[in-house]
Amino acid sequence: MNDKVYNDLFIGTGNSARSIRTEGLMTSLGGGRFQAFSAGSHANGTVRPVRPCQPMTAHWGVPDPAGVEGTDEHKAKDFMDAGVVLKRRIELMLALPLRSLAGLSLQREIDQIGKSGA
């Protein structure tokens, strides 16, 4: 049994939408195997209020829903779309055989998830 806990840092721009959501996804789906954190390259200190009630998201080239303009319905759809993509990518990452992948091999697999269009 592998008791190792992996630390994961998800970086977004403002740390107000994607990275916050990914941190929540990794924590909830990771089954205690992951300790997730989020940050922003230009953190603005607030979480975007138009978001699902449960935090989630990541930085795999997913469009930032925090800057979306338009109706509340349009904003909510963009948040949900980003959340679906990020959840799928987290699920793919969690399915990786972490114990048998080392360093650069693991990094290549994680990079490939972001390129997969999932």
pLDDT at 40: 80
pLDDT at 110: 80
pLDDT tens digit sequence for 72-96: 899 889 888 988 988 898 898 888 8
pLDDT tens digit sequence for 51-73: 443 333 337 778 888 888 899 89
pTM of the predicted protein model: 0.60
Within a domain: 1: no
Within a domain: 18: yes
Residue range of the domain that includes 14: 6-115
pLDDT at 45: 65
What contacts 24+ positions apart, CB below 8 Å, involve 78-85? 79/17, 79/50, 79/51, 79/52, 80/52, 82/17, 82/18, 82/21, 82/57, 83/21, 83/52, 83/56, 83/57, 85/60, 85/118
Domain of 111, CATH number, reads: 3.40.50
> Sign of the C-alpha dihedral, residues 105, 32, 84, 70?
negative
For residues 87 and 52, the answer to whether their CB atoms sit within 8 Å is no
Number of domains in the chain: 1
